[in-house]
Structure 1
Amino acid sequence: MTLQFSLASAAPETAETPCVVVGVYENGLLTSAAARVDSAAGGAIKRQVESGDISGKAGSTTVLFAPEGMHAKRVLVVGLGSQKSFDAARFQKVCMEATRALTRLPIDSAVSFLADVEVPGRDSAWRLRTAALAADHAAYRYTATFKPREKSSQPELTSITFASDEQARTGLDQAIAIAEGVRFARELANLPPNICNPAYIADQAVQFAESNEKVSCTVLDHEEMDQLGFGSLLAVGRGSANHPKLIALEYIGGASDEKPYALVGKGITFDTGGISLKPGPGMEEMKFDMGGAAGVLGAFIAAVKMGLKINLVCVVPAVENMPDGNSYRPSDVLTSLSGITIEVLNTDAEGRLILCDALTYTAQTFQPKAMIDAATLTGACVIALGKHASGLMSKHDDLAAELLSAGETTLDRAWRLPLWDDYQTQLDSGFADIANIGGKNAGAITAGCFLSRFTEGQRWAHLDIAGTAWDEGRKGLATGRPVPLLAQWLIDRAG
């Protein structure tokens, strides 16, 4: 579901809308908007607080139907929790819960006053942007037609108006663009792998470029990559009937001679593990192994929609890893585009094998100011950080600090892991320059160390999003991360 957002100056007691949204803290403390509703409705909120029907617990929701004295047909009262401990993460949570409650009502629009709730250290533009992005995330529904959905006879939520000051307009404009990028990333990652294969991703990129005059797209097929020497990337795709694609989008938003920033995303459209076959249970989640590709494409779309005054490239190696008589094997030695030779110890450590050639290509072709890759790279990162933080690795402290700051701003957080040379010896090989795995210890870090061998001389950082790109379980959906983090990083670069 795509929500439409708008900004308006409105009073909660006079807003003509199917539903007004206000917040209440624990212990019955009302926000200013809730107090105005309570006054107009003859104490309706306070009575429910006193009776215990409105607890104020964070994320709880209560609907007041047709309260007297109000122009709105309903009032949705959202619990904010303790005011003393109210923070940015709590604000995001209550905005999501409010939207989930709205989607359960037979309404097509609402006016929300949550963006006026004070959040320590955050301005009105941040509050509005975060409220809108949280709402869009909560309202998302997988829209592919493979699972028919009966059309509801009731109205469905399609728009939210936020009551906030005009100074917050920038936040709303950014939210609309970032939300589009997040939705694109989620929809692409949620598609089944028989639809979303390398050619499909390439087609999506070409279509986007054709609809935006400042964007161009180059797609290399497997024959062109073979001529150029993409020996590592092509090995991973040898067992699949779906040939690999190397997709490069370029956006010129700055001066034509200005070096671009670069985003590179792992695009394994399905990962069986290859000859090192994965266990069957849970393998269906490996359609999400192109979450890095989806994320960088979403961030690219957000940057273009915001019209950022930067130059940006987005490179996606799109490959399917399948077992076949032609598949690459453990003990094969590959020659990468950089010339570095790689001993394959496990064909399920394939993401780094496509990324190393893509990183080399990006550095050689575009000479970027900075290069960020995003990849659902290691289960080890999920063990280390769980589902809450993406793993961040970089030898550049300033670049790492920029990305960590962007994550804190957007609540799409990352946590830095070491990339010390001490770990590099785990990748030693007796048969090639480097092995593609470093053993069971520090698996996320040695994967980052592997990629660092191909980014010498580059200002580069790696995001391992294996834990954050999708929600677990049979009904788990793609999250769209790290689109918000990367979009904020690009906003900061545009200055």
Structure 2
Amino acid sequence: MEYTVKSGNPEKQRIGCVVVPVYASRKLSAAARTIDKVSNGQLSNLMRRGEIEGDLGNVLLLHNVENTLCDRVLLVGCGKEKDITVKTFYEINQHMVKRLQSSGATEIASYLTEVPVKRKDLSWKIQHSIDAIDQTLYKFNQLKSEKKEDRRPLRKFIFSVNGRSQLMPGEQAVRQGMAISAGIHLAKDLGNLPGNICTPEYLAKQAQILATQHDAISTSVLEEEDMEELGMGALLA
């Protein structure tokens, strides 16, 4: 998956899908209001008709929204704006991904970064969006003889930031989020391997590979005699 950040209005994104949050009681977010304005009230009309209420878990995919450059607009319900927690934000991203997987869109511009989370800044929201997206899409296929490939998999997410001043911290948050997600995926992969493959020798080799790939990591492999000298009897037993 490719991740990046960009500053720009939602209606001007020439992309497969633009994702905007909506809140409980049929309240539009800033990005949703912008699209609603250029589309002559299309979003607010849909909400008034009860197509989407804005509750957590509600999603509504729209095609060819008037006066926008994107192919699709996905409305994602976030619940009550003042009640959004760390857990809720993760769930919001999960609901987004699950709907996008069957949408046909491969490149996404997400405005969920404007969702308010108590005591959390933009960098945190970008990092944890990446975590939620990657973990929702995670599959363990290493031991399958036939791997079913998605016809149109999600390939790229662009996170919206407010202005050029947020581009640099946003890009740093992307790098950090991708690093954390890669570590989680590696841990999951190792945990999913059977014991006859994931042996101590195998784990040592994986640690050595990490050390060759990242300058910040160094690896020392302890043999049994080294462990005995260190008094690691419980582990050896």
Match of 1:163 among 160, 164, 178: 160
Give the CA deviation at 1:214: 4.3
Whole-angstrom CA distance in 1 between matches of 2:32 and 2:200? 51
**C-alpha RMSD of matched pairs (Å):** 1.9
Q: Is the 8 A contact 2:11 2:67 kept in 1?
A: yes
Give the CA deviation at 1:73: 0.4
Give the CA deviation at 1:91: 1.8
1:168 to 1:219, Cα distance in 2 relative to 1, 3 A: same
Question: Corresponding residue for 1:222?
Answer: 224
Q: Structure 1: where are the runs of 5+ without partners?
A: 236-495
Name the stretch that deviates more: 6-15 or 33-42: 33-42
1:215 to 1:83, Cα distance in 2 relative to 1, 3 A: closer
The secondary structure found in structure 2 opposite 1:75 is strand
Equivalence map 1:55-74=2 (5 Å) = 55-74=53-72
Match of 2:36 among 35, 38, 45: 38
Structure whose alpha-carbon radius of gyration is higher: 1
Give the CA deviation at 1:115: 0.4
Q: TM-score, normalised by structure 1?
A: 0.45
Equivalence map 1:33-432=2 (5 Å) = 33-146=31-144, 148-152=146-150, 154-164=151-161, 165-166=166-167, 167-226=169-228, 229-235=231-237
One-letter amino acid of the structure 2 residue matched with residue 163 of structure 1 = S
Whole-angstrom CA distance in 2 between matches of 1:163 and 1:7? 6
Q: Is the 8 A contact 1:97 1:138 kept in 2?
A: no
- Superimposed CA distance per residue, residues 409-461 of structure 1 (whole angstroms, 9 cap, x where no aligned partner): xxxxxxxxxxxxxxxxxxxxxxxxxxxxxxxxxxxxxxxxxxxxxxxxxxxxx
The secondary structure found in structure 1 opposite 2:82 is coil
Structure with the greater relative contact order (CA < 8 A, sep ≥ 6): 1 or 2?
2
The secondary structure found in structure 2 opposite 1:199 is helix
- Superimposed CA distance per residue, residues 121-149 of structure 1 (whole angstroms, 9 cap, x where no aligned partner): 22222222222222222122223142522
One-letter amino acid of the structure 1 residue matched with residue 235 of structure 2 = L
Q: TM-score, normalised by structure 2?
A: 0.89
Give the CA deviation at 1:8: 0.7
Q: Structure 2: where are the runs of 5+ without partners?
A: none
The secondary structure found in structure 2 opposite 1:57 is coil
Q: Is the 8 A contact 2:141 2:147 kept in 1?
A: no
1:147 to 1:27, Cα distance in 2 relative to 1, 3 A: farther
The secondary structure found in structure 2 opposite 1:219 is coil
Whole-angstrom CA distance in 2 between matches of 1:121 and 1:81? 18
The secondary structure found in structure 1 opposite 2:22 is strand
Identity %: 30
Whole-angstrom CA distance in 2 between matches of 1:170 and 1:161? 14
Whole-angstrom CA distance in 2 between matches of 1:162 and 1:124? 10
Whole-angstrom CA distance in 2 between matches of 1:7 and 1:172? 8
Give the CA deviation at 1:230: 3.3
Give the CA deviation at 1:31: 0.2
Q: Is the 8 A contact 1:108 1:159 kept in 2?
A: yes
Whole-angstrom CA distance in 1 between matches of 2:233 and 2:206? 25
One-letter amino acid of the structure 2 residue matched with residue 198 of structure 1 = P
Question: Corresponding residue for 1:28?
Answer: 26
The secondary structure found in structure 2 opposite 1:120 is coil
Task: Identify the structure with the greater strand proportion.
Answer: 1
One-letter amino acid of the structure 2 residue matched with residue 31 of structure 1 = S
Whole-angstrom CA distance in 2 between matches of 1:60 and 1:183? 28
The secondary structure found in structure 2 opposite 1:98 is helix
The secondary structure found in structure 1 opposite 2:15 is coil
Give the CA deviation at 1:157: 0.3
